[in-house]
Structure 1
Amino acid sequence: MPFDPALDLKLVRDVEASPEALWRGWTDVDLLKQWFCPKPWRVIHAELDLRPGGIFHSVMQGPNGERHEGPPGCYLEVVPHSRLSWTDALGPGFRPNAQSFMSATIGFDPLPGGSTRYTAVAYHATAETRQTHLEMGFEAGWNAALDQLLELLGPSADKG
């Protein structure tokens, strides 16, 4: 899907980790729960079924017991070590959900020396939803989560 700056948000960073290591962080439910939302928030439940139509779902909890839980979404595209796309517009098995916040694509493009260009794009249906996501702290939050993933992967991140 082409990037539309009026509707979408993007994070692009070159990171010292291999595509394989980053992929592991996104596809191993136990790892995902450790980094997926910025601290002091935490993921208290996650389900991943890595196939088109398979479930992508997480429940986040804040430090004062606040909860953020969208509808269970589904993967649209799963290309090992390269690309993940999912949406909350559709649930598992591509069943339509009544509400939607966003769809997203995460790309892992290898760079020389074992590092990776990490690209995260959040697609929104309306400019208002995009603005809401921006005001929620998209840039700071998604960068903090990526930093947490890189810290979790540690020195072994470049070994895939």
Structure 2
Amino acid sequence: MSELLVSKNLEAREIVLERELRGSVDAVWRSWTTVQALEAWWGPEGWVTTVRALDVRPGGLWHFGMGVPGAAPDVWIRAVYSEVIHGSVLSYVEGFSDETGADLDPESHAVTVEFTGVDPARTRLVLRTRFTSVDRLEQIAAMGMVEGWAGGFDRLDRFLRSRP
């Protein structure tokens, strides 16, 4: 497993997570852009994800819920894609919603995911989250953002290794 690198820049109101994964850029890209893959790995350890909508194009909606297995999702998220460069960049604005996809978050944050091939079988993923304020950054960090992503990236790595 590759180490998760975490940096926090309060001046930029940003948290950056970096992780090298075993998988081609194409395989890692598909893990972020298909319902089946997202439902297999997305979220913290011990949680399941239910994708209600996934339209990977600028202006497209990604709506999903997360929670413990066997129960209704505890958390609903909606994201609207702002930039999609196939195999290279996904950018979206993400915030809390309800099960219908209604935007309930006045402080949605901007996320950019960069996919860079290290070699044919390894990809460097950089996830950059920019918040509306330092207070919002600290609030989301206190909710376990980094710990959740550490588990999520471990799940993603296992998912990628399980693929032929």
User: For this structure pair, what is the TM-score category when the shorter chain's length is used for normalisation?
Assistant: 0.7 to 0.9
Give the unaligned 5+ runs of structure 1: 92-96
More helix by share: 1
| 1:10 correspondence with 2:16 | yes
CA distances 1:114-140 after superposition (whole Å, capped 9, x unpaired): 311110111110111101121122222
Give the distance between the partners of 1:27 and 1:79, measured in 2 at CA: 12
Q: Is the 8 A contact 2:19 2:153 kept in 1?
A: no
Contact 1:60/1:69 (CA < 8 Å) preserved in 2?
yes
- How far off its partner does 1:101 sit? 3.1
- Which structure has more strand as a fraction of its residues? 2
Q: Which runs of 5+ in 2 are unaligned?
A: 1-6, 98-102
1:20 and 2:18 correspond: no
TM norm structure 1:
0.81
The Cα offsets for residues 3-52 of structure 1, whole Å up to 9 and x where unpaired, read as: 98111111112222211111010001111011110121111234210110
- Aligned amino acid, residue 58 of structure 1: F
Is this contact kept in 2: 1:35–1:148, CA < 8 A? yes
Structure-2 separation of matches of 1:61 and 1:156: 25
Q: CA RMSD in A?
A: 2.5
Q: The residue matched to 2:64 in structure 1 has which SS?
A: strand
Q: Which residue of 1 aligns with 2:61?
A: 55
Counterpart residue identity of residue 5, structure 1: N
TM-score (norm. length: structure 2): 0.79
Q: How many residues align?
A: 149
The 3-state SS of whatever aligns with 2:56 is: coil
Shift of 1:79: 0.8
CA drift of 1:155 comes to 5.3
Do residues 145 (structure 1) and 152 (structure 2) align?
yes
Residues in 2 aligned to 1:9 and 1:50: alpha-carbon distance in whole angstroms: 23
* Aligned-residue offset at 1:64: 8.3
**Aligned-pair identity (%):** 26
